[in-house]
Amino acid sequence: MRGPTDSEEFTGVLASSSNDTALNGFKNRLNSSLCFDTLVEGTANRMARAAAMHVANVPGQLYNPLFIYGGVGLGKTHLMHAVGNQLLQNKPDAKVLYIHAEQFVSDVVKAYQRKTFDEFKQHYHSLDLLLIDDVQFFANKDRTQEEFFNAFEALLAKKSHIVMTSDTYPKGLADIHERLVSRFDSGLTVAIEPPELEMRVAILINKSRSEGAEMPEEVAFFVAKNVRSNVRELEGALRKILAYSRFNQKEVSIQLARDALRDLLSIQNRQISVENIQKTVADYYKIKVADMYSKKRPASIARPRQIAMYLAKELTQKSLPEIGELFGGRDHTTVLHAVRKISAERQTVSELNQQLHVLEQTLKG
């Protein structure tokens, strides 16, 4: 969705609220419950978590800035709060600020209207750690980008640390000045992926315990196999199951989970099929759906076909032989090779990861 243009950005007076950044006082805006101890580690977030812990313990040195990207609900914000909380535990007098990018925009607008840019700069340029969420919201806002660039340069010059999140990697950001994108990309850029099965199971069991309930492992596996997209959806599914259990005064079981998540499961099963995946991937890469079943092997066809096989394994309950059959009667080993190849490349190739993210969001509606 298009953000406001530069001319729209500075029209109207934004009402202040008790949650506004206090330019004369100081609020770090951190949620103390979001720490490293409450963040389940897995393959999907291991590198990002390790880099974040390094920043928290040795700020201002390596990985500055730290740029974390990934889809919604994967734990980017949790990781940011964890960095801030850990640094304050080590250095209680450190000036740490967590904000959403929209708050920075709001502060720029108010400074522009009230002619208080000196106070604005004093506040942001004096930080030891700036944690800023969803920098894609800076798109089309020239004055905001200029002020963030100035703050960025000032903080790096004094060896303060900057941690940012976005829904895409730096070079994938639209309508952001090139000099800002190059700064975003100058430290360490890491992705957080959708959690793998074992990580989803661990999240469900841990979160259930924190809610004062026990989820049997087989139930956690059932839920994890059916809710694949992100941590937020997993937690939402867990809340439904626990509420259903309490309301009906029944123990948590696979059947109870199936009943509690009936609507979610029916929507998922209706929306995501191998045929739907094949059509979506074919449209995205501008090939014919028939090419998914054909024996043709040029890269322009073979690559999308492998991506479609990978998505079929990730987003449906089909077995490898069943997927192979739906791709023109291919052997299950061909499907396994495609799944392993795309899964491995996703970890290292930003462009592929972004393409898969777009396809997954499209398929999940």
Which amino acid is residue 205, in one-letter code?
A: I
CA distance 34 to 44: 18
Task: Kindly report the CATH class assigned to 272-364.
Answer: mainly alpha
Q: What is the CATH number of domain 197-270?
A: 1.10.8.60
Question: Which phi and psi angles does 86 have, rounded to 5°?
Answer: -65, -40
Q: Read off the pLDDT of residues 54-90 as tens digits, 9 standing for 90 and up.
A: 999 999 888 999 999 988 888 999 999 999 999 999 9
Instruction: Pick left, alpha or beta for residue 127 (phi over 0 → left; psi -120 to 50 → alpha; otherwise beta).
Output: beta
Q: What's the distance, CA 218 to chain centroid? A: 27
What pLDDT score was predicted for residue 10?
A: 39
What pLDDT score was predicted for residue 93?
A: 92
Bridge pairing between strands 96-100 and 161-166 = unpaired
CA distance 263 to 286: 33
What pLDDT score was predicted for residue 26?
A: 60
What pLDDT score was predicted for residue 63?
A: 95
DSSP 221-285: HHHHHH--S-HHHHHHHHHHHHHHHHHHT----HHHHHHHTHHHHHHHHHH--HHHHHHHHHHHT
What pLDDT score was predicted for residue 268?
A: 59
- Name the packing angle between helices 332-348 and 350-364 (round to 10°): 120
Q: Which CATH fold would you assign to the domain 6-191?
A: Rossmann fold (3.40.50)
pLDDT < 50 regions, the chain: 1-25
Comparing CA positions, the residue from 36, 58, 56 lying closest to residue 46 is 36
What pLDDT score was predicted for residue 270?
A: 55
Which amino acid is residue 3, in one-letter code?
A: G
Domain ranges within the chain, ordered by starting residue: 6-191, 197-270, 272-364
- Name the packing angle between helices 262-271 and 217-226 (round to 10°): 40
The H-assigned helical ranges of the chain are 6-9, 46-57, 76-90, 101-114, 117-125, 142-157, 178-184, 197-210, 217-226, 231-248, 254-260, 262-271, 274-284, 299-315, 320-326, 332-348, 350-364
Q: Which residue has the tokens 């989803």?
A: 200
What pLDDT score was predicted for residue 265?
A: 77
